[in-house]
A and B are shown apart, each in its own frame.
Chain A
Amino acid sequence: MSDFDAIDSLLAAVGPEAELPPPHVRRELRERARLSKAQVARALGVSPSTVTAWEGGRDPAGETRTKYAYLLDGLAARFAADATPATPSTAESQAVAQAVAQAPAATDALPLRTAPEEGGGGDGDGDEVETLAAPEPCVLCGHPAGTRVAGFAQHLDPADCQATASVPDKSTAPPARPEIAPPARPEIAPASRPEIAPAGKPSPRAPRTATRPSERSKGPARRAFQEPSGPVDLIGQAVRAALTEHHGDVEAATAALLKRAIPDAMRLLDETRKGARYDIVAHPWIPDILKKQTSRGADQIWEARPKWTRHALPPGKHEVTALDINGAYLSALKTHLPLGQLEHSAGLPHDRRRAGVHLITPPEWEHEDVLPNPIGQRDEPGPLWVTEPTLRLLLRLSGPKHALCAPPEVHESYTSGATENLLEKFRIALKDARDTAIAEDDEVTLEYVKAMYSKFVSTMGESNYNRELYRPDWMHIIRSQAFSNLWLKALKAHDEGLTVVRAMGTDELHVIGDWRRVFPEGRGVTEVKVKDVYIAGTEGEGEE
């Protein structure tokens, strides 16, 4: 390899300067090969800005020029070679390739290139077969070979190549012309390998195409559609690590994972917020209504937890199904969360771009006998502090589509600019882990994920178990969102003709009727599962 260097530099010094294609073609070739400037620059030993300058009209000189010409010609030959076989190629690419091919052909002063067209004219007999003093590993099978063809050590007889069958798996890089391809490029075109292997005497073109960095190489960074850069599989890693640590003892591993669920959730949150638009404001100023009045007491926010049982069932005996909403808090992570510090306002109409807590006078609810009150079982009359999801639910129900109640009266608010996507990546990561765990029947991951999201929600306020996040407003909003989601499910059941018997807590809905046509059954977050089936009601006259 070093002798190639020496020869090349000698020839470059002797001969006239290598011809280069016009600047725009240089750039076009590089981009067609999906090589970044940095990649090219690294291979040529210059800085990326130098490559920019070359593509902008400046011409390199000396040895660098020869290298650059070699690279461009190689790229042109690559595209020309791609164009001539059956591979579909655009007319444009051919034009480019020809434009480049003509440029060097005009001066035949390219000392180190054997252009593929010219090499092809040699008809295989032009291969220079060298006998090596010290055997080098064969590029095809990896075993020592005593001969070198066109710069590649290999066996002349295919029978000597011991591992022909497994050739495509071996990724021993054929060392290309040393000045172009960095030696650590493992890409070998698997398609081109079988052509060489049985022949034993490869045509000079074959190794050349094989060594070119092809489209499979890493593309430039500025593509329109990039691979989604999700968080690394933190959940899977943690589970695997815990299982290995406890030698596969599922119970011990689960216990260990549950213990570290909160810090792990915070780490996952940090991971999912990388490169995001909004920063998580973890310690804003908190208005007094969100502060606990005593250490064990509650603050003044009403979360609208439903706790409703139908007063009177329709006459007769009924089979009641208790449905359980899967992952209610997980789904509730998608909600309008205030980003920054809450700011006070009074007497303003509701702004959809903001979220927070609001002091409202709830409207009268006249459907208590069939549907729960959307603000929950509130005993005291008068204004109360509710969160964003509850207010949005009330506004929605008072709208023309439902028209179930009067609009609530908003007195004052503490709000901040809001987004629904703040925890979205976090939620998706957990949901995906949960779905995978269910599909694989992986109880450890399932428990771990459940602990992560439920503890994350319950400790994001003033909790000593999670001091990294101090957002009681978010905690209330996420909980209210879960209640609001349950309420909407009850409404859906009611609208579809089911009899809603009870809506309780975050995830409990009791209905009479054929619920399977309304809610899909399963364990996914969009599905429901049956908790219990029981008979309720008085003896109707039909049975007497």
Chain B
Amino acid sequence: MPQRNIDFGKFGARGIKGSDAVARKLDELAGGIATPVTARRGWIARLHYLTRSAKSRQAAKEAGLTVTDRTLKAWLDGRRRPSKANLERLDAAYWTVRRQNVARHLLKRLNREGRGTRVEIHPLNQSQVPRPLQRVVEYRTMNVRRWDRIVASWAAGDYQGLDDAWTTDVLPDLGSQWGQYEYVTNVGFAA
């Protein structure tokens, strides 16, 4: 059944989109500030990251941190602290800028000068599917050589583009059962 699933989970299968798993893994590889934004240490660190240079201020502005320079200065001086809404914006902007900054390095490591990276695909969870409807779906591994589209759409926060890149470019290399791997429990790779 070489196609996308129409009504995933109808019979109780559980899993996440393969592209979401890839995005999670890329986030994990990108790393970043682990302290939550609600803690003072967390938002201060994010703010410093976003205001280190004029370029990063510009990137933060483009990523949605649309507060005035005066407010930023007040936050940095400790005279004021961001509101709840602004904390969310700060966090979102931080992750967007962080992804953009890491993307180039990550892409280089994943492509490994054309040798690519081995990707493990752990199949979906069928434990809740009635026995007669369960299918044999094996653990698979594959080598992905071209990560450009995947990393670019991940860095741009374009989840639709990432899904297209993963499901239509990469998965068909698994052979005619690639549709079984549209939803997975985990996608593992390292960079």
Contact = CB atoms under 8 A, between A and B. Distances in A.
Contact of B190 (A281, A285, A295, A470): A470
A285 B34 CA distance: 20
Interface in A275-301: 279, 281-285, 294-295
A24 interface: no
Given A467-B190, A467-B191, A341 B122 contact: yes
A285 B122 contact: yes
Given A295-B34, A340-B139, A283 B189 contact: yes
Interface string B152-191: 0000000000000000000000000000000001101111
Contacts of A295: 34
B34 A294 contact: yes
Interface string B117-134: 010101000000000000
A284 B122 contact: yes
A468 B141 CA distance: 14
Contacts of A281: 120, 139, 188
A16 B120 CA distance: 65
Nearest to B122: A341
Nearest to B127: A343
A282 B120 contact: yes
Given A295-B34, A340-B139, A468 B190 contact: yes
A284 B188 CA distance: 6
Contacts of B34: 294-295
A215 to B, nearest CB: 42
Contacts of A470: 188, 190
A384 B139 CA distance: 31
A244 to B, nearest CB: 27
Contacts of B141: 279
A294 B41 CA distance: 15
A382 to B, nearest CB: 28
A543 B124 CA distance: 74
B190 A283 contact: yes
Contacts of A341: 122, 139, 185-186
Given A294-B34, A341-B122, A284 B190 contact: no
Interface in B28-82: 34
Contacts of B122: 284-285, 340-341
Contacts of B120: 281-284
Interface in A435-472: 467-468, 470
Interface in B101-131: 118, 120, 122
B144 to A, nearest CB: 13
A470 B186 CA distance: 13
A65 B95 CA distance: 76
A282 B118 CA distance: 10
A340 B186 CA distance: 12
Counting chain A CB atoms within 10 Å of each CB, the highest count among B34, B118, B190 belongs to B190
B56 to A, nearest CB: 23
A255 B118 CA distance: 30
A468 B191 CA distance: 8
A341 B188 CA distance: 11
A295 B190 CA distance: 18
Interface string B17-36: 00000000000000000100
A467 B186 CA distance: 17
A470 B141 CA distance: 15
Given A295-B34, A341-B122, A285 B185 contact: yes
B2 to A, nearest CB: 24
A283 B141 CA distance: 11
A283 B191 CA distance: 12
Nearest to B34: A295
A284 B25 CA distance: 12
A285 B139 contact: no
Contacts of B188: 281-285, 470
B139 A283 contact: no
Given A279-B141, A294-B34, A341-B122, A284 B186 contact: yes
Contacts of A340: 122, 139
Contacts of B191: 467
A285 B28 CA distance: 13
Interface in A467-520: 467-468, 470
A341 to B, nearest CB: 6
B90 to A, nearest CB: 21
Nearest to A344: B127
Nearest to B190: A467
Given A294-B34, A295-B34, A341-B122, A282 B190 contact: yes
Contacts of B139: 279, 281, 340-341
A131 to B, nearest CB: 62
Nearest to A340: B139
A484 to B, nearest CB: 29
Contacts of A284: 120, 122, 186, 188
A279 B139 CA distance: 10
A294 B39 CA distance: 15
Nearest to A469: B190
Contacts of B186: 283-285, 341
A460 to B, nearest CB: 12
A295 B32 CA distance: 11
Nearest to A343: B127
A395 B186 CA distance: 33
A279 B138 CA distance: 12
A301 B148 CA distance: 38
A468 B120 CA distance: 11
B25 to A, nearest CB: 8
27 contacts: A279-B139, A279-B141, A281-B120, A281-B139, A281-B188, A282-B120, A282-B188, A283-B120, A283-B186, A283-B188, A283-B189, A283-B190, A284-B122, A284-B186, A284-B188, A285-B122, A285-B186, A285-B188, A294-B34, A295-B34, A341-B122, A341-B185, A467-B190, A467-B191, A468-B190, A470-B188, A470-B190
Given A283-B188, A283-B190, 4 more contacts: A279-B141, A281-B120, A340-B139, A341-B186
Q: Which 9 A-B pairs have the closest CB atoms?
A: A283-B188, A467-B190, A285-B186, A283-B120, A341-B122, A285-B185, A468-B190, A283-B189, A285-B122
